[in-house]
Chains A and B, each alone.
Chain A
Amino acid sequence: MQPKHKVLVIDDEEVVLDSCTQVLASGDCQVTTAMNGTQGLKLVEEMQPDLIFLDLKMPGLSGFEVLEKIRSQQPHLVVIVITGYATVSSAIEAMKRGAFDFLPKPFTPEELRLIARRGLEHCRLVQQTVALRREKELLRENFAAIVSHELKAPLGALQQNLYALTAELEDKLSDSQKDLFERLKTRLDDLLKLIHSWLRVFSVDVRKLKETFGPVSVADVVSKAIDTVQPHASRKAIEIQTAMREPLPRVNGDEGSLTEVLVNIIGNAVKYSFPNSKVCVRAEALGQEVLITVTDTGVGIAKEDLPHLFQDFVRGQAQPAGAAGCGLGLAISRRIVEVHNGAITAESEPGKGSTLVIRLPAVQSSPECSPTSERKD
């Protein structure tokens, strides 16, 4: 059997309380009554009703005040206001302020039952929506953990055994056999990276980064990112030059994810550069912003690709040999930069190279009380 619906009636007229109790309690409702607004609000908190009937005209705390309190504390509660005869205007006013419906006095038992049923149905839908929304949020969060374990664990084990096999057979394998092993490893590695990128895009809520924002040194972020990209650059004999123009104010943000952005951007610059060329990373203050500019002289980005550059799964048409990726790096980077209240833009001339500019709001003078940290979208 389903539990009874909890209905609260707040009215100063005893006859209304009695009749409501009589009519509704005969159905599947458990009715509680309150003689005034203060008592009513106390009961709202104690019993967590599914449905509230609220008289608008009461001595003491008025129905509107009670309604306002309920709406501010528990916006999902379904409130039906009881109004005197021919006061439709106040009923409409109450509905504007969040009441679900109104019941004009005097009412017949049938009217009360009907409106209560509608209210309870609405309550059920509201509760369902809230539950579904919570479930969706949970699913999204758990998705990362589930996918990482169920998908990545077998791939990881596969790769690990390939590593072991290659090491064991090192002096027995012919060059062409070694090449086959390399191909296997590369494809597996790509797959693992792809899963990782998808997880980042679909399951990690970058807005959560805001919770741990703090002052970040741009120079640190740049040098950390370069450390990560350097091996790839060295392999192609690409020189990464830096130019930090002091004084460089700090930015308010998350160091790890900002580093990730720069790894993506500088990594791309290296990836799309020709061997023996240069990639230049510059940082400078400009007005209230810090500009980080990454310039390469590589393959460049076609004009028609530029507007889509920061969308999911977009890769430029011009691909140098050996460049691999899933086209998510810039999309992730854009999200991270935007969470920092910044912007990221690209300019390019095909065949000549590209310039990507990241703009981040600078922390004003004292980093402790930065106004940017309070800014919300």
Chain B
Amino acid sequence: MSQPKQLLIIDDDPDFVAGVKSILLKAKYEVDVAYNPKDGLQALQTKTYDLLLLDIMMGRGAEGIMIARKLGKDPKLRDLPVLIITGIREQMAFLFPGQAVHPHFVPVDELVEKPVEPKLLLEKIQALLKTAEARKTQSK
């Protein structure tokens, strides 16, 4: 068994995070949490993660989007796969659950809606990790 994958969650809702984190821990991922964008960005700079779970609506607005944009511009971090978790259904009112939605902030990302079922969550994470892995070997 290879090294457990390191995941980072950036989300300002501790209750929601608890529900996600427990699912991820059960699936043998190692999970760090940042409860605000500032701590999140700092964590990304200090430690290497395999995947980021990012909440969009934080604080006064869509601060999550700012993080995603920053990642996209950062040559070191832009290859980090990101699973965007959003509660704003209006913006995806026409998108349907289960369907892959690519926000394209970074090369490998996808979007799921809060709340997210354990099975779907784990599938998406696995798929993103796999895609990122494939990209890495391809570029080598």
Contacts and interface: CB of A to CB of B under 8 A. Distances in A.
A311 interface: no
Interface residues of A, number: 33
B23 interface: yes
Contact of A160 (B16, B88, B95, B96): B16
Contacts of A165: 22
A256 interface: yes
Contact of A159 (B26, B89, B94, B115): B115
Most A CB atoms within 10 A — which of B13, B19, B95, B118?
Answer: B19
A168 B118 CA distance: 10
Contacts of A204: 90, 93
A259 interface: yes
A199 B89 contact: yes
Main secondary structure, interface of B, reads loop
Interface in A132-174: 144-145, 148-149, 152-168
A160 B93 contact: no
- B: contact size bracket: 20 to 34
B87 A200 contact: no
B12 to A, nearest CB: 10
Main secondary structure, interface of A, reads helix
A148 B19 contact: no
Contacts of B19: 157, 159-164
Interface in B87-110: 87-90, 93-96, 99
B74 interface: no
A156 B114 contact: yes
B57 interface: yes
A169 to B, nearest CB: 11
Contacts of A257: 94
A371 B117 CA distance: 46
Given A145-B90, A160-B20, A260-B93, A167 B26 contact: yes
B127 interface: no
A157 B118 contact: no
A153 B12 CA distance: 11
A204 B117 CA distance: 27
Interface in B10-28: 13, 15-16, 18-20, 22-23, 26
B116 interface: yes
A286 to B, nearest CB: 27
17 contacts: A148-B87, A148-B89, A148-B90, A152-B114, A153-B87, A154-B15, A155-B115, A157-B19, A160-B116, A163-B19, A163-B116, A163-B118, A165-B22, A168-B22, A168-B26, A199-B89, A256-B94
Interface of A: 144-145, 148-149, 152-168, 192, 196, 199-200, 203-204, 228, 256-257, 259-260, 263
Given A153-B13, A162-B19, A163-B117, 16 more contacts: A152-B89, A153-B57, A155-B115, A156-B87, A156-B114, A159-B115, A160-B114, A160-B116, A161-B15, A161-B19, A161-B22, A163-B116, A168-B22, A168-B26, A192-B115, A199-B89
